[in-house]
A = this chain, B = another copy of it.
Amino acid sequence: MAERFEIVEKALRKMLEGKKYATLRDVLVTMNPSDLAGLFSTLEEKQIPLMFRLLPKELAAETFVEMEPEAQELLIRGFSDNELKEVLDELYADDAADIVEEMPANVVKRILKHADPELRSSINQILRYPENSAGSIMTTEYVSLRPSMTVEEAILRIRRQGIDKETIYICYVISPDRKLIGLVTVKDLLLAEDDETQIQDIMLTHLIYVTTQTDQEEVARMFNKYNFLALPVVDGEHRMVGIVTFDDAMDVMEEEATEDIELMHAMTPSEKPYLRSTPFDLFKNRIPWLLLLMVSATFTGLIITAFEDALAAQVALTAFIPMLMGTGGNSGSQASVTVIRSLSLEELKFRDIGLVLWKELRTALLCGGFLAAACFVKIWLVDKMLLGNQDITLLVDLVVCLALLVTVIIAKAVGCILPMVAKALKLDPAVMSSPFVSTIVDALSLLVYFLFAKLILGV
Contacts and interface: CB of A to CB of B under 8 A. Distances in A.
B442 A294 contact: no
A423 to B, nearest CB: 12
Nearest to A168: B187
Top 3 A-B residue pairs of the complex, sorted by shortest distance between their CB atoms: A297-B323, A279-B362, A227-B247
Interface in A1-33: 1-2, 30-32
Contacts of A267: 334, 337-338
A57 interface: no
Nearest to A218: B1
Contact of A308 (B318, B348, B375): B318
Interface in A246-264: 246-247, 249-251, 253-254, 257-258, 260-262, 264
A50 interface: no
Given A257-B257, A312-B312, A295 B378 contact: yes
B298 A382 contact: yes
A155 interface: yes
Contact of A352 (B258, B275, B280): B275
Contact of A264 (B261, B298, B345, B370): B261
Interface in A186-238: 186-187, 190-191, 206, 208, 218, 223-227, 229
Interface of A: 1-2, 30-32, 34, 155, 158-159, 162-163, 168-169, 186-187, 190-191, 206, 208, 218, 223-227, 229, 246-247, 249-251, 253-254, 257-258, 260-262, 264-267, 273-275, 277, 279-280, 282-283, 286-287, 289-291, 293-295, 297-298, 300-302, 304-305, 308, 311-312, 315-316, 318-323, 325-327, 329-331, 333-334, 337-339, 341-342, 345-349, 352, 355-356, 359-360, 362-363, 365-367, 370-371, 374-375, 378, 382-383, 387, 389, 434-435, 438-439, 442, 446
Contact of A254 (B163, B168, B320, B345): B345
Contacts of A362: 279
Given A337-B262, A383-B301, A327 B293 contact: yes
Given A249-B250, A304-B321, A312-B315, 16 more contacts: A224-B250, A224-B254, A229-B229, A257-B257, A262-B338, A274-B342, A277-B359, A280-B366, A283-B370, A290-B327, A290-B367, A294-B375, A300-B326, A302-B319, A302-B387, A305-B319
Nearest to A331: B290
B253 A250 contact: yes
Given A273-B347, A321-B321, A159 B359 contact: no
Contact of A374 (B289, B291, B302, B378): B291
B363 A279 contact: yes
Copies in the complex: 2
B258 A345 contact: yes
A279 B364 CA distance: 8
Given A168-B187, A190-B162, A341-B258, A226 B155 contact: no
Contact of A298 (B168, B227, B304, B323): B323
A304 B318 contact: yes
A83 B277 CA distance: 59
Contacts of A294: 323, 326-327, 371, 374-375, 378
A308 B315 contact: yes
A323 B348 contact: no
Contact of A318 (B169, B318, B370): B318
A283 B363 contact: yes
